[in-house]
Structure 1
Amino acid sequence: MPPAPRKPRPRSYDPAKVRTAVTAQLVHVREAVAGLDEAQLALPARSGERTVRELIADIAAGVDLVARLIEEPAPPARKITAVEWVIADHRAETAARTEITRGAAEAAPDTAPEALLAAVADRFAALAAATPPDRLLAAPGGAVRLDDFLVTRCVELVVRTGDLAAALGAGIRYDRQALANATRLLADALAAKAPGGSVEVRIPPFAVVQCVAGPRHTRGTPPNVVETDPLTWLRLATGRADWATALDAAEISASGERADLSAELPLVE
């Protein structure tokens, strides 16, 4: 019987740098929404599922969830990691955040998006910096350390920044550290979801992981290699792009008989 695939070693993140990355990405989003008129705020986002105004409120709610959870009593035990959040528990958060977004809209229907994001950024900066990184949060999917949850905010922010850019038809800047954190976390989630060493996934300059059960290479060029850029990877991992279309557009290079990850993607939606 072949040995069981080895679990990837958990990646560590510097909480201070993650906090800075979240704040920096919020600044980029605020700059993008400053001065939007009502017609632009009413534009559809993500296949018409919501408007730009609603998407901005959701971006704010995703970050403000950190402060909300810090203000709640700590749960008794740790249950999930950042990678586990990606694989399974983001769905519970999505449902909970929908209620937060709706409540915020009802409480302040005329709040300008830029002002909403500024208030959220200030609250996040104050509470996250004053809270120990190992503090447990009662997240919707289960108890999670603050430092792990902060990394998931990079995924949420960067992915929804892409949604906002697509809806507005305009470029929005990405903080390099936020983009790196999001890329690495989703790459690690792929390695955890499909453990193994037969395929090497390269997302330069931020991540390289091995995944998919099968023969493991130990030296030289791997027989199965997938390579793409960070933004394409984020779209694939979150269902914003599909494997076949990205492959046809040469946004992915895939070599080797096992280098087809379509069965493993998306990781989150």
Structure 2
Amino acid sequence: MPPAKKRARSYDPARTRAAVLAQFGNVREAVRGLGPEQLALPTRLGEWTVRDLIAHIGMALTAIPRALDQPEPPKADAVPLDWPFATAANAAAIDEFTRNLAAGEPDPGSCLADVERSLRAALDEHPGSRILRTSAGAMSLDDYLVTRTAELVVHTDDLNAAVPGLDVPCDRQALAAATRLLADALAVKAPGGSTEVRVPPFAVVQCVEGPRHTRGTPPNVVETDPLTWIRLATGRLSWKDALAEAKVSASGERADLGGLLPLMS
């Protein structure tokens, strides 16, 4: 994999913090109204129930105060773009931790409220430059929060898909950060300039080896909306199905991204 650090995008720290808190607040409010039957519903994440999924969403944010409680690494050696490629290696441990957490928490709504309180306290106490150890390596708190927007947006969509009638809103800034992170991850996985991937209004990236265009309309163009892109990048939607359902447009001989997706799962 090409070094992600060479492609690191900058994110506004204040907006990222606000986005994480806003999206987590959206989830917390929605979860408060779920009953036992809804919590027991299956999800599209293997054997996880809605209760397991909610526990995982909370776990994704409790990772921050847990990491901040540990000694600070001497320096950062990772950036947000390292994170999408590190998730698969931790899948088994995440699954076990999530199931144990869900089994021990009878009231998911109360649990998420506790998570929010501890998260706010941690963010108030520590500057964004604080280095913490993560599954992808040592990175700054500001950088790690970018990865949390992706966790929240992806799993909010999972939650909406699992519970009929549920429509948890997605914070615009959280959606923007998640879209850009996963679009940049594609450019890292398939470096090049022959294909332009457009995810309006948030991201445009060049990728795939081949002739690089310099002006005018690129010969190979892929375009889709942010949620469809996130579903493609995380394996919630296949490339074939997205084309068949006209959720993505692809023109040019190098516009087939099917062999490059998903980027993470």
What's the TM-score, normalizing by structure 2?
0.93
Cα distance change of structure 1 residues 47 and 138 upon mapping to structure 2, 3 Å threshold: closer
SS of the residue corresponding to residue 196 of structure 1 reads coil
CA distance in 1, matches of 2:100, 2:70: 18
Q: Could you list the runs of 4 or more consecutive aligned residues of structure 1 that deviate by over 6 angstroms after TM superposition?
A: none
8 A contact 2:196–2:220 mirrored in 1? yes
Number of matched pairs = 261
How far apart, in 1, do the equivalents of 2:207 and 2:133 lie?
A: 31
Q: How does 1:99-138 map to 2 (within 5 A)?
A: 99-105=96-102, 108-110=104-106, 112-138=107-133
CA deviations on 1:48-103 (whole Å, 9 max, x unpaired) are 521101100000000110111111111233222111111x2123454444454345
What is the CA distance between 1:227 and its match in structure 2? 0.2
Q: CA 1:116–1:264 in structure 2 vs 1: closer, same or farther (change >3 Å)? A: same
1:89 matches 2:86: yes
**What residue ranges of structure 1 are gaps of 5+ in the alignment?**
none
2:214 match = 218
Q: 2:224 aligns with which of 224, 228, 233?
A: 228
Q: Which residue in 1 is equivalent to 2:235?
A: 239
CA distance in 2, matches of 1:220, 1:109: 56
**Which one-letter code corresponds to 1:26 in the other structure?**
F
- 1:226–1:178 CA distance, 2 compared to 1 (3 A): same
Structure 1 residues 22 and 93: alpha-carbon distance in aligned structure 2, compared to 1, 3 A threshold: farther
Q: Quick check: 2:132–2:140 contact (8 Å CA) kept in 1?
A: yes
* 1:94 to 1:70, Cα distance in 2 relative to 1, 3 A: farther
Kindly indicate whether the alpha-carbon contact (under 8 Å) linking 1:61 and 1:97 is maintained by their aligned counterparts in 2.
Answer: no
Corresponding residue for residue 177 of structure 1: 173
Give me the identity figure in percent: 57
Is the Cα contact below 8 Å between 1:198 and 1:216 reproduced in 2? Answer: yes
Structure 2 CA distance for partners of 1:117 and 1:47, relative to 1, 3 Å = closer
**2:81 aligned partner, one-letter code:** V
Distance in 2 between residues matched to 1:27 and 1:129, nearest whole Å: 17
Could you say which residue in structure 2 is the equivalent of 1:52?
A: 50
Please give the secondary structure, in 2, of the residue aligned with 1:181: helix
Q: Residue type of the partner of 2:28? A: R
